[in-house]
Amino acid sequence: MTTAVESDVRRQELARFLRSRRERITPEQVGLPLQGRRRTPGLRREEVAQLAGVGVTWYTWLEQGRDINASEQVLQAIARTLRLDPHEHTHLFRLAGAPEPEGEKDCQVITPAMELMLKKLEPYPVAVRNARCDLLAYNRGYTWLMGEVDQIPFEDRNTLVQCLLNPEWRKRMLDWDTNIPRVIASFRAAMAEHVAEPAWKSLVKRLKAESPLFAELWPHHDVNSEPIRTKRYLHPDVGLLRFNFTYLYYGRRSEITMSTYTPADAETAAKLPFMFD
């Protein structure tokens, strides 16, 4: 049963999520004319409401975290207006406390079979990502390796963002200096099929503004699709860990990958937490 506190937290998270997605869409992208200087980035609230066909006051309340219920039809219209990808679309419905449409349920990225694999592979760390490096799912082994991933805000739950902007992740990744240029090059290669998508452009804009290294390397146009096969980590409790990576693709043409971290030596295997509470 959901408590009043939990509902309030969920509404506030929904409000922040909607604002973050509204601010990344420019008027030109939705066919609106530019009229004078704009004080805030992206679309205005009234513009989103107009494009989605909902009342301005009602949409404002939604962004303010008011205790109101949104219908499936309204949420679908907002998702289209904000150009949400399937991952974000599902997240919107969950935050709004609305049942996911049947069509969405049929094409969920994280299937029950994948959830079972995540659990059964513990204590090995496992993570599921899309091409944009969004972290779609992970198991307790991954949280043990990288820290409390659940505490990372949804909009920051992206491995490229964390590798570049989270000092704790950088501290744990021993080969950060060597590997991060390859990660950025791999991201650029993947972006070739998504160059016009707001979510990708927004991520690039953010990283150029917040990461000096990304801003330095991005103009080089380096590309690399060869995955990194071995990585070293420095865990705060058990010390040095070495893992081999296996990348499992969800389908033949899918951009969704399940990355499994298997011990590269006996010392690493012996340090894994074989029991979870």
Q: What is the mean pLDDT of residues 162-180?
A: 95
Residue 178 has pLDDT above 70, yes or no: yes
The pTM score is: 0.72
pLDDT at residue number 224 = 85
Local confidence band at 276 (pLDDT 50, 70, 90 cut-offs): low
- The pLDDT of 145-152, averaged and rounded, is 93
**Cis peptide before 123, with omega less than 30 degrees from 0?**
yes
Q: DSSP states of 195-224 as a string?
A: TT-HHHHHHHHHHHHH-HHHHHHGGG----
Domain ranges for the chain, please list them: 1-96, 112-275
Cα 20–Cα 164–Cα 122 angle in degrees, nearest 5: 90
pLDDT tens string 237-249: 999 999 999 988 8
pLDDT at 140 over 50: yes
CA distance 46 to 50: 6
Residue 126 has pLDDT above 80, yes or no: yes
For 191-219, letters b (16+ CB in 10 Å) and e give: beeeeeebbbbbbeebbeeebeebeebbe
Please state which CATH class domain 1-96 belongs to.
mainly alpha
Q: Which residue has better confidence, 69 or 139? A: 139
Tell me which architecture the domain covering 112-275 has in CATH.
2-Layer Sandwich (3.30)
- Res 211 pLDDT > 90: yes
Q: Over 80: is that where the pLDDT of 159 sits?
A: yes
pLDDT digits (tens, 9 = 90+) for 39-78: 777 888 999 999 988 889 989 999 898 888 888 888 988 9
Q: What is the overall mean pLDDT for the chain? A: 87
- How far is residue 160 CA from its own chain's centroid? 9
